[in-house]
Every structure is written in C-alpha cells, then in structure tokens.
Chains A and B, each alone.
Chain A
C-alpha cells in the first residue's frame, strides 16, 4: 500500500519531466546510431604513392583496395604526405622496395601495412589448398559494432539510470521531502523498495525501446532470446539505481553527483569487456569482478552474440541481484542517519 503510493508518485514525477524522459530514451538511441555509423563504416582505403616504380611491379598491383599515385621524385611524395594527401609511399633503392609511412594514425598505418603485405605476398599457385573458415559463435563478417553493441547497451542503461535515480533521491533530500517522508509511518525499506520498483518499471520500458532499436533498426546481432536481454538489463538497472541512490547520500548537490561519473561509471567501461580483458595488467584485473557492468556485459554478449540461454547466464544474474540487495541494505542503513526508528 505505502510502497504502491511511492511507486505511483515516482512514475508520475518522471512522466511530468518530459525532458528527462527524452534524455533517457533518445540519448542512448542517438549515441548507438552514431556508433553504428562509426564502427560499421567502409574499410579505410589507404592512399599510397609509388616513387619511380618499375612498370612490371605497378601492373600487378591491386588498385581496388588502395588509391595509387605515381611520382617521379621522392620529394614530391614527401610533400604530399606533409599535406596529408598521402598515407605512405614506396620507393625502390637498387631494386629493393622501401615503405615510408606517415605513421601518426594507427588505423591508417594498419590498413596501409595490410595492403602492402598483401601486395608483396608471393602469388598462390592456382591449385593450392584453400583455407576453409568457420566460426563457432558469431560470424566472420561480424562487425565491431556487433561486438561492442551489447556492452554499450548495458552501459547506457547503467549510466542513465544511475544518474537519474541518484539525482532524484538527492533532490528528495535537499528539498526536505525525504525528511517529510520520514516523519510519516513510511518505513525505510519501503522508501528504497518504492524507488527500485518505480524506476524499475520505467527502465523496463526504456530498455525495451533501446534494445529493440539496436536489434531491429540498427541490426545489432541477436542470436539469443530478446526476453533474456531484457532480464539482464532490468537487473543491471536495479544495481545502477540502488548504487545511485546510495552514492547520492554522499553528495550535497547535483554537481557532486556528477563527480561520481568519472570515479564510478567510467572505469566500469574499461573493465566491462569493451576492451579485451586479457591484456589488462594482472594486478588490476580483479577490478572487473567488482564492477556490476562486467557481469551484465558478459551475459548480454553471451545472449546476443553466442545465443546462450538462461542456464549459461543465471550466475551473472545472481551476481547482479546480489549487488542490488547489498546496495539496498546499505541504503536502508544509511537512512538511519535521518531517522533511527
């Protein structure tokens, strides 16, 4: 009854705040769309100059994957690199090819090197055995976006729910309504549970929209069940929200709430599996095991990329639930600061 009153009030307040709703739904959609275009763009076509190259060599080059231009003098090619119109040039010193790279952008350097290596590879004989490629999960044409997508989906839910719930609770404290609530028979756990359910309902709607957009409009890979994705996101949202409320107790105003973003939210991106965790320094790797986003991202990737079902992700779900319950207990304890009864 009292919890229901809390839930109804929170939802009403959220609905009144059109701008925040817009932020919660359209900001992730906008960012995901931009990432889609960034990651799924065409392969980079390197621009390569050839200085005084033998004709026989130029003829056999594959000019579909690179833009080639010919130079008489090395100085001209150098000048073009300085003007950023060329990424590299190949010169021949006594018949031996030499590659000079612009070298400041690793992506461009990588693409150039790849093309050059392919160009200088000895021709395979016609009847050589062809390597057959197959993947256990995903596919060999899966883009970066498909791999990052599930993690980013989780991240946006975490980030926005953390912030909005934290700020809402902070306002409850700074405007005195929290104190007013504590002067009513409302119990401390009812406040916390009311918040979790109220924002939980809203997050359900928010994440359904965002996940549907990512999967059905942007075509993010989706091997498993959509329902499982929502389940993971909901539990992650609970964690974000209980953590946001908890930390809001240590902030005096909205700006101080923002200060938690670089400390609490951003590090989670690095340890969530967006970047390969095996390359992280060993003495730091334990951090990923205490970041909620890691468990959510792992489960989301299992469902979306590997097509796993409930039996493979339930441990991650339990861990997220554990985080939530822990933060909720802490919240109730912290509320004792305001009322001991």
Chain B
C-alpha cells in the first residue's frame, strides 16, 4: 500500500462560546486525495469545525493543521476552496459577474479566467444560465453557483458545507460524480452532510454528535463494527453508546 500524506490534522480541538461548548476535544486526520464526510445532525458542530479549517474561526483549545501548517494562515487560503452553508452570492449581479469577481480575488485573469469560468460552469451545469441575475436563480442553482465559485482556483483541498442541499437527485448524482473526478485528480474533499445516503459515497466518515466525534472510519467499517446495514443505524448505535 502506498504511503498517503495527511492533508488536514485536527488536534485536540475544542471550541466554546462562553459556557456553551460546541466542539469537544476533536482528534481527526484527513488524508490527501480522499473524500471525507462529516456526518451529523444540525447543531452537531460540523459547520464550526469546517469554518475553523477554512480559517474563519479559531479553536478555543488545540489546533488545526493544513498541509502541515497551522491554521489560520492567509498563505494557505489560496489552496483551499470553501463553500459556506449559506449561499454567499451577490444577488444583484449575474452568475458570470459573481464568478468573475471571485476569480479576480484568487488572482485569475485573462484567458485563464475565461477558461476556468467555463469549466466550473460546466461541472455544475450552469453554462446556459451564466448571464442570468442571481436573484432570479432557484435555490438549487444558487447552491451550484456557490460550488462553482469554490472550484474556480483549482484548490487542492475543498471544504464544502452541505453542498447538495436543495439540489434534485439527478443533479446530486452528477455533482457526486464531479467530486469523484476531482478526487481522481488528487484533490482532497471535506463534505459535511446530514443526508445519510450521501455518506455511503464518502471514502471515510466522521460522525459528529453534540460536538463530539463519536466514530471515524469507512462506511463499510462503521457498518461492520456495529453490525448494522445502514449508516443511519450505525449512527444511532454510536450515538446510543455515547449518551
């Protein structure tokens, strides 16, 4: 088996806002070139964790390391593609203007910029809707545009917070296919979700509940360990053990 590098390392991370604890002593290593799913109900702390990885938040205790360097670090930001849970788009502008704006922030210009915009629009299947003003977009289209923006600068690590919410099943399948092809090109993906059937498509999963990481492993391992047939059942098993 060839040696794989650690891309993201979460070490002893806890986060609390006042007395309210959001993350409790998380240890987690995410390997280069894998699709890692963070699974858990809303309020489990998924978003807080990925925000810390994207450099938008800092842990109260412990530290996050990306590519062997401690976050937050502005130099690493260029290597990360981040998609927030809420669609952070300029709704007065067209999709193309949004893409152009963000590509300029990542230093893409000229021909390269035009090419990349075409490529990412193709991946999320918005090529025919680029000149539309975003306020006329449906929820699913906005989600896809946010994803396209995260892909623009060809980051090595993609941090995607609930990327497929509100997207129809067929398109969701296509997007997961895109994730697979990104993975084949050596990218690392961190995807948060609370949809259990998506969890099966990840290489490895981390189950989060009430700010604690209750289990980590491949979907197969998790099911085997618990003697269950679905991730959902496995989640209930681990959850029950904890409480």
Contacts of B54 in A (CB 8 A): 183
Are the CB atoms of A341 and B82 closer together than 8 Å?
no
Take A176-B84, A183-B84 as given contacts and tell me if A2 and B55 are in contact as well, using a CB distance cutoff of 8 Å. no
Asked if A9 and B101 make an inter-chain contact with CB atoms under 8 angstroms apart, the answer reads: yes
Q: Is the interface of B mostly helix, strand, loop or mixed?
A: loop
B105 touches A12 (CB 8 A): no
A179 at the interface (CB under 8 A from B): yes
Report Cα–Cα, A177/B93, bound state, in Å. Answer: 13
List residues of chain B with CB within 8 A of the CB of A4.
104
The reply to whether A5 and B93 form a contact with Cβ atoms under 8 Å apart is no
Whether B104 lies near A2 (C-beta < 8 A) is yes
Q: When A12-B93, A13-B90 are in contact, do A184 and B105 touch as well, CB less than 8 Å?
A: yes
Chain A CB within 8 A of B73 CB:
yes
Q: How far is the CB of B138 from chain A (nearest CB, A)?
A: 17
A185 pairs with B107, CB closer than 8 A: yes
List of A residues within 8 angstroms of B200 by Cβ = none
Min CB distance, A75 to chain B, in Å? 69
CB of B97 within 8 Å of the partner chain: yes
Q: Determine if A16 is an interface residue (Cβ-Cβ < 8 Å).
A: yes
Complex: chain A residue closest to B93, CB-CB = A12
Pick from A9, A175, A184, A339: contact of B72, CB under 8 Å: A339
A12 is contacted by which of B89, B97, B102 (Cβ under 8 Å)?
B97
Closest to A5 in B: B104
Taking a contact as CB atoms closer than 8 A, the residue among B58, B97, B106, B109 that contacts A184 in the complex is B106
What is the number of residues of chain A that contact chain B, defined by CB distance less than 8 Å?
A: 26
- Given B56, B84, B88, which contacts A338 in the complex, CB threshold below 8 Å? B56
Indicate if A281 sits at the interface (CB-CB under 8 A). no
- Given the contacts A1-B107, A12-B93, A340-B72, A183 and B77 also touching, CB distance less than 8 Å: yes
* A185 lies within 8 A of B74 (CB): yes
Decide: B97 and A185 in contact? CB cutoff 8 A.
Answer: no
Interface set, chain B 89-112, CB cutoff 8 A to A: 89-93, 97, 101-102, 104-107, 109
Shortest beta-carbon distance, B74 to chain A, in Å? 5
The interface residues of chain A lying within 8 Å CB-to-CB of B104 are 1-2, 4-5
Chain A nearest CB, measured from B142 CB (Å): 11
Contact B105 A185 (CB under 8 A): yes
Across-interface contacts of B109 in A (CB, < 8 A): 1
The answer to whether A5 and B56 touch (CB under 8 A), given A177-B89, A179-B84, A341-B74, is: no
A42 in the interface, Cβ–Cβ < 8 Å?
no
A180 at the interface (CB under 8 A from B): yes
Known contacts A9-B90, A184-B102, A185-B78; A340/B58 CB under 8 A: yes
With both beta carbons as reference points, the residue of chain B lying nearest to A17 in the complex is identified as B92
Task: Tell yes or no: B86 within 8 A of A by CB.
Answer: yes
Asked if A177 and B90 sit within 8 Å, CB to CB, the answer is yes
Residues of B within 8 A of A80 (CB): none
Contact at B87–A176, with CB atoms within 8 Å?
A: yes
CA of A17 to CA of B74, assembled, Å: 33
Q: How far is the CB of B189 from chain A (nearest CB, A)?
A: 16
Give the CA-CA distance A339 to B54 in the complex, in Å.
10
Smallest CB-CB separation from B86: which chain A residue? A176
Residues of A within 8 A of B105 (CB): 2, 5, 181, 184-186
Known A-B contacts A177-B89, A179-B56, A340-B72; the reply to A184 vs B77 at CB < 8 A is yes
Interchain nearest-CB distance for B63 vs A (Å): 13
Q: Is A182 an interface residue (CB 8 A)?
A: yes
B147 within 8 A of A: no
Interface assignment of A187: CB less than 8 Å from any CB of chain B: yes
Within the complex, the shortest CB–CB distance from B234 to chain A, in Å, comes to: 32
Contact residues in B for A5 (Cβ distance below 8 Å)? 101, 104-105
- Min CB distance, B158 to chain A, in Å? 12
Q: Which residues of B contact A182 (CB under 8 A)?
A: 55-56
Q: Is B157 an interface residue (CB 8 A)?
A: no
Inter-chain CA distance A184–B74, complex, in Å, is: 8
Residue B30 is within 8 A (CB to CB) of chain A in the complex: no
| Residues 36-80 of chain A, each 1 if its beta carbon lies under 8 Å from chain B, else 0 | 000000000000000000000000000000000000000000000
Query: With a CB–CB cut-off of 8 A, which chain B residues contact A186?
Result: 105
Q: Nearest Cβ in chain A — how far from B120, in angstroms?
A: 15
B80 located at the interface, meaning its Cβ lies under 8 Å from any Cβ of chain A in the complex: yes
**Beyond A1-B104, A13-B93, A183-B56, is A177–B74 a contact (Cβ under 8 Å)?**
no
Contact with B along A297-341 (1 / 0, CB 8 A): 000000000000000000000000000000000000000001111
Output the nearest chain A residue to B76 by Cβ-Cβ distance: A341
Name the residue on A nearest B75 (C-beta). Answer: A185
Would you give the shortest CB distance from A183 to chain B, in whole angstroms? 4
Q: In the assembly, what is the distance between CA of A1 and CA of B74, in Å?
A: 17
A16 to B78, CA, bound (A): 30
Q: Are A176 and B56 in contact (CB under 8 A)?
A: no
Chain A 185-199 residues near chain B, CB threshold 8 A:
185-187
Q: List 22 A-B contacts (CB under 8 A).
A: A2-B104, A2-B105, A2-B107, A5-B101, A5-B104, A5-B105, A9-B93, A9-B97, A16-B133, A175-B88, A175-B89, A176-B84, A177-B88, A179-B88, A180-B82, A180-B84, A185-B74, A185-B77, A187-B74, A338-B56, A339-B55, A340-B72
Interface residues of B (CB under 8 A from A): 54-56, 58, 72-74, 77-78, 80, 82, 84, 86-93, 97, 101-102, 104-107, 109, 133, 149
4 extra interface residue pairs, beta carbon distance < 8 Å, beyond A176-B84, A183-B80:
A13-B92, A176-B87, A177-B88, A184-B106
